[in-house]
Structure 1
Amino acid sequence: MCHTALLKASAFALKHRVPSIAARPLSSNPIAEPKAFLTPSTDRWNSMIRAHVDSGHFHTALSLFSALREGGARPDHYTFPLVNRAVSSLASRIDVGEAIHCLAIKAGFAGDVYFCNTMMEAYVRNGGVGMARHVFDEMCVRDVVSWTSLISGYARVGDFDEAFDLPHRMRAEGLQPSPVTLAVLLRACCAAADVAGGCQLHGFVIKMGFGGHELVQNSILTMFSKLSFLEVVQKLFDDIQNRSVASWNILVSMYSSMGDVSGAIDSYEKMKMELSPSSETLTSLLSALAKSEDLRLGKWAHCHAVKAGQIDAILHASLVDFYAKCGELEFAVQLYEEAQTKSTTLWCIMMWGFLQNGEFLETVHLFQRMQEAGFMPGKDALRVLVMACSHLGVLMWGKGIHGYLIRNNTLEAGGSDDTALGTSVLNMYAKCGSIDLARRCFDRIAEKDIVAWTSMVEGYAVHGLGMEALDLFYRMKEEGVRPNSVTFLSLLSACSHSGLVREGCELFDCMITRYCIRPEISHYTCLVDLLGRSGRLGEALDVITGMIAEPDGRIWGALLASCRTHSDSVLGNYAAKKLFGLEPDNMGYQVVLSNIFAGDERWEETERTRKLMHREELRKKPGWSCVQVKGMSDVFVAGDKSHPQGAKIYEVLGCLARQSEESRDC
């Protein structure tokens, strides 16, 4: 927006855009209310605004600015930059930034470099890089900060061509990039995955003599670590003479993100010889230990953090996440409840913990507690909630959540977060039996990634709609989306459930020859299931014996199930022996073998199998169902009598059973 338009927009006075002093009394703020209100002066107003900005009370800082103007004081060279700092920290309030800009122009600060730089930063942080560019283009004098702010803005929105072009123009105008400029460019190279550009920039850094600057050093380490150049990072790290805590944290974080637990622990131990690890170090270390589910070392890191007094809110949340991922849900809940202040992130982590441990109803109940506590759920929390409803199969709840998302325009913006959330809703409908609504959700996803396509294919597979899954696969190829191994797994499953033997075999060959995807044991299992269901048991056995990978219980189980379907007791007995060697405690396969013998009227083998199950005291894990009545959900296990109204439930079941028998006799 040009300055003329901004001046016309000055009718939108700031007092209409931010809370007034009366609307947000300062007495509720921990910062004491100065006596400056009695004798207003710009310097005193600036001091109050700065105090509130520094303490994170951005709305109150803007209210103070409104009161400054209403009190007759005149904003000066420092006032507008302070207010811009507050605007920069507010989410999606570019309208407030525009109002500030209008007032500053009217006050005569349009040519002030300091103000313009902070104005650009406010626009950039609120997603208005175009507005920032207008400010930049109209500046008569620009300094290094001006160029750096604009470069950062373009990098933030992913316009890397413009971000990398600006430094050349900057040098052409006689300005050299500062360490901060170089750090911004290095982050841009990392975000763009531009290895060649990053290496060139690294050479430029050395040439310019910034190789020893701590900020630049750490930015180079971060760039190469995120680009997975492990040896380069280790070499550069070893060459640093005075390593800081931030440098060590980058190294530990790199090993953690790669899942190299021993590397992360080794770096942590070496760090302790030079410096005291920070809470960020322990957070990165716990992330690695959570991936490996190493409970012993995680407890050791927890004890160290307690002794060193380093447990802050972020580390506390990481500990909750660690124990939940290690299956120690009770301890995770205890730590969660001990948190004095619960952030939205902590609520979401605990919800993920319940979900990962199969406590789906607890996930829903925790979300309800979160709302009762006054927290607005983010997209991550909503996604967890949708996934919990998917597992519970409660379609009504899922529809309610979807309605909430629609009412709040949560799925309309596009982007990876919205795609992930939309995919979760799609999966929920597919798993709850509503494939038409799942397809409708799929069609409305603005930016479909490979996960969205694969999820829709999987939905068709679960519903036995093999041809629809294949049609979607062909459309996916037409739109230039490259399938991955999971896509082919869903396609093979769809063919298996729909009896499309020829199509499934062609897909298996296509995966290997055209897309160069190496089959995993799960792909072979689907192929065995596909051939076995169609009665081609010999070919299914040839697939297993010809595999490069070692067969596991799942693939022998698929063959055993097919042997039962086609009453092949000889091959079934062979598959069962292989299975029992791999999973001797699996009761389900023993039952299948017993049923195969019974189907062939081999009663001695049937009896022997049953006696073996009894002698080994094997117990089949019971199935469970979730029933929703008047908005309340109850979980029932086979043979369950623990429900408070169990006696009445079984009485009704008995009545229904008698009515069924009577109707059958009639």
Structure 2
Amino acid sequence: MAKDRPPPATGGPWILEFASLLVVVNQSVIVFVFFRFTGCINWPRRNLLSAEKYTRFHGFSSSSTSSALHPFLPLFPSPRFLLTLLPAHHLRTRRSPENPPPINRPNSFQWNSIIRDAIDSGRFDSALCLFSSMLAAGVRPDRFTLPLIARAVSALPGSFGLGKAIHSVGIQTGAFSNVYFCNSLLDLYVRCEEISDARNLFDEMPCRDAVSWTTMISGYVQHGEISQSSAAFRRMRMAGAEPSSVTFAVLGKNADGGRQLHCLAIKVGFSSHELVQNSILTAYSKMGLLREAEKLFDSMEKKTVVSWNILISAYSSSEDFLGVLQCFQSMMSELPPSSETLTLIISALSKFGALREGQQIHCHAVKSGQVDMILQTSFMNFYAKFSDLSSSFLLFQSEGMSRNSSITPWIAMMSIYIQNEHFMDAINLFKAFQRLGFDPNADALRCLITLYARLGSLLLGKAVHCRLIRNGFFARSHMETMIKTSILNMYAKCGCIRLARSCFDEMVKRDTVAWSSMIEGYGIHGRGFQALDLFHQMQEEGIEPNSITFLSLLSSCSHSGLVSEAHQIFNLMSEKYEIKPELCHYTCMVDLLARAGELNEAMNVIQNMVVKADGRIWGSLLASCRVHENVEIGNYAARRLFELEDDNAGYYVVLSNMNAGDERWKASERMWSSMTERKLERRAGWSYIEEKGGGLSMFVAGNCLHCKREEIYESLRYLSRNMEEFEGI
């Protein structure tokens, strides 16, 4: 047996997770024994664990297992190890083709052929079960087997740990020298967003082909490391590897360098390739180069549905409503739109507030039979944008309320209720969801976390946090950052900034969203300087801020009254990072200046904006004018405000009180008369109260019928007395 053992790996110390494979005969179960070790992969013989001891340790039958262990017996070290099982959905057994083939004593070549057939037909679970049966039959994998298994593993979701195991076995068996095997592992690491592991593997590969380079470039693009993707492409050409059409398609996802990519495609002869043309079209779209995108589109000999979809998306991103409609009409005259096209159109119409046109698209989709689950969900969101929640719920009922339906419509409907502040409806929907026997996935639980964050319900939010831990979602590396960011937001909005920071510090990988969320959390708690310190730390770690990051920073400055710091951040955004200020950034600046009493400067910001001011900006200015008793600017803001929103009773009340404070009684009376004529009523203030035990109760200001009104008002009086002790609150 010793001479059959592959030669030990060399090249310095390794810190790996290695997996030896144990098969339980007559069952399609693969057990992976993970352990960590330091040193070369050449263990002393005394550390090997015998098949009999290993079998007795795990309670399996020795006679049924020793033969299965035989091929991999030299790979069992005895130090620390952790027994884990493949997820249950990887281990489904069927009569065919997972069972051993009806061939007497099949060899590795025959097993490889059957495993390859399963992979080629997309049955990756079956391929793993076949591999299990192969080992159970005592057939030792050859140099072609592990590359196949690596390909199967790379196609399975959440399989990073399993991929590391296969990686380690590949090093031991010599499969690491196979470029196909390495490319499969590289693809797995990129899919799992483990870009550092992918980079290490890429650097250690003995040989690289165009697929290797393309996969690595794809990983950089997906991870937002645009400069790294461009550098990798340059190194690829210097290494003599010829880029393929897929390479250009991957580079097209990079929003930078569309013109250079187009020129290079012409130079190497790929300019007429459909995949490359669509890729360059996507790059132009992301860069906002609409004219270049139109020229390229017009020059294309064959315009597919994908090409039309990219151009429609480009018009939508450029906020060209007429262009979207004209492009869609032109497409209809040449070829029928797909459900993806209709999804793009309905999303654009929602953004432009085109209710009537959206209803027409809905009728067309129903008549043509193109309404699938994704499009139905888009229509639900479309009607919700116009506050027509009854139509959204009717669509949800037709799609989602059955045991056999997908979980997606449920999550979409819950999100709609949360966005429109129908919180109790969202909670009741989740309860109905559970009654039907659905097992909430990570997206459903994230939606629930968002709900409890909006309600400020700390106990219920903690309960969901515990459920996420119990269900093992944090163990899945591709979900960890996303889920912990949601939990971070929840704790920050529920008043627990310490727990929010703990979540942030525990993250293995922090993306821009995580940094922005933590900055926003500090801002909510009035810790503006800590928010700025965190931003400087973000810059030092090389994380590129985006428009949301700067919005969080400006909001933090606004909550803390940091006027000069806000000016610096606002200028930094456009000068260094070339991020064009949006309406939300201007709103923060106006709110900050107005709160600080610098009303004239706030007016200058509004007048010099490159976008049109909306009701939020004028409303913020009006509220500050009342606080600082500036009736002149307040009346001007009110006139602009009523041109945009003349049905908001709150603005009439603010203006009336401001005029009354300046003893302009007639002007104050006119506001109340206008409210009466328009039949406007000010909505009473309300809040959800978290009771002991985690229950939620709604309390409306002035409500004399609430069963706990005395306790509520006593708590309010206690808070008011304590707040008066702090100046400025």
- Shared fold (TM-score, shorter chain, > 0.5): yes
Distance in 2, matches of 1:510 and 1:654, equals 42
Describe the superposition over 1:182-228 as per-residue Cα deviations: whole angstroms up to 9, x where unpaired.
3224413643834465245313332xxx4444344444444444444
Give, as a single letter, the amino acid of the residue that structure 1 aligns with 2:206. D
For the pair 1:137 / 2:212, whether they are aligned, the reply is no
* 1:634 counterpart SS class: strand
2:209 equivalent in structure 1 = 147
Describe the superposition over 1:400-430 as per-residue Cα deviations: whole angstroms up to 9, x where unpaired.
3344556678679888x75565444343333
Work out whether residues 504 and 530 of structure 1, in 8 Å CA contact, stay in contact via their aligned partners in 2: no
Alpha-carbon shift at residue 33 of structure 1 (Å): 8.3
Work out whether residues 124 and 132 of structure 1, in 8 Å CA contact, stay in contact via their aligned partners in 2: no
Work out whether residues 351 and 384 of structure 1, in 8 Å CA contact, stay in contact via their aligned partners in 2: yes
1:627 equivalent in structure 2 = 689
1:82-161 superposed matches below 5 A: 83-93=149-159, 96=162, 117=180, 120-127=183-190, 129=198, 133=202, 137=206, 147-158=209-220, 160=229, 161=231
Describe the superposition over 1:285-308 as per-residue Cα deviations: whole angstroms up to 9, x where unpaired.
333333334333333333333333
1:331 equivalent in structure 2 = 391
Distance in 1, matches of 2:678 and 2:606, equals 30
1:127-526 superposed matches below 5 A: 127=190, 129=198, 133=202, 137=206, 147-158=209-220, 160=229, 161-170=231-240, 181-188=244-251, 190-191=253-254, 193-195=256-258, 198-206=261-269, 210-339=270-399, 342-343=405-406, 345-367=408-430, 373-375=437-439, 377-378=441-442, 380-404=443-467, 421-442=483-504, 455-456=517-518, 458-465=520-527, 500=561, 504=563, 507-508=566-567, 511-512=570-571, 516=575, 521-523=586-588, 525-526=590-591
Unaligned runs of 5+ in 2: 11-15, 24-29, 33-84, 191-196, 221-227, 718-729
Q: Higher relative contact order by CA 8 Å / sep ≥ 6: 1 or 2?
A: 2
Alpha-carbon shift at residue 366 of structure 1 (Å): 4.5
Alpha-carbon shift at residue 620 of structure 1 (Å): 0.3
* 2:343 counterpart SS class: helix
Question: Given the alignment, which residue of 83, 108, 129 partners 1:63?
Answer: 129
* 2:683 counterpart SS class: coil
TM-score, structure 2 as length reference: 0.68
2:31 equivalent in structure 1 = 16
Give, as a single letter, the amino acid of the residue that structure 2 aligns with 1:58. F
Distance in 2, matches of 1:37 and 1:107, equals 28
* 1:157 counterpart SS class: helix
Distance in 2, matches of 1:301 and 1:58, equals 39
1:617 equivalent in structure 2 = 679
Distance in 2, matches of 1:457 and 1:74, equals 54
Give, as a single letter, the amino acid of the residue that structure 2 aligns with 1:87. V
Distance in 1, matches of 2:519 and 2:161, equals 43
Call closer, same or farther: CA 1:439–1:147 in 2, change over 3 Å. closer
Call closer, same or farther: CA 1:227–1:381 in 2, change over 3 Å. farther
Call closer, same or farther: CA 1:6–1:12 in 2, change over 3 Å. farther
Alpha-carbon shift at residue 250 of structure 1 (Å): 3.5
Call closer, same or farther: CA 1:56–1:256 in 2, change over 3 Å. farther
Give, as a single letter, the amino acid of the residue that structure 1 aligns with 2:419. Q
Call closer, same or farther: CA 1:593–1:291 in 2, change over 3 Å. closer
Identity %: 38
Work out whether residues 6 and 98 of structure 1, in 8 Å CA contact, stay in contact via their aligned partners in 2: no
Alpha-carbon shift at residue 358 of structure 1 (Å): 2.2
Unaligned runs of 5+ in 1: 139-145, 659-666
Describe the superposition over 1:308-331 as per-residue Cα deviations: whole angstroms up to 9, x where unpaired.
333444434444444444444333
Alpha-carbon shift at residue 154 of structure 1 (Å): 1.5
Distance in 2, matches of 1:10 and 1:423, equals 31
Work out whether residues 175 and 181 of structure 2, in 8 Å CA contact, stay in contact via their aligned partners in 1: no
Distance in 1, matches of 2:547 and 2:165, equals 52
Work out whether residues 528 and 555 of structure 1, in 8 Å CA contact, stay in contact via their aligned partners in 2: no
Call closer, same or farther: CA 1:329–1:45 in 2, change over 3 Å. farther
TM-score, structure 1 as length reference: 0.73
Give, as a single letter, the amino acid of the residue that structure 2 aligns with 1:525. V
Distance in 2, matches of 1:523 and 1:338, equals 41
RMSD: 5.1
Figure out how many residues of one structure are paired with residues of the other and give that number.
623
Higher helix share: 1
Between 87-96 and 505-514, the greater mean CA deviation after superposition: 505-514
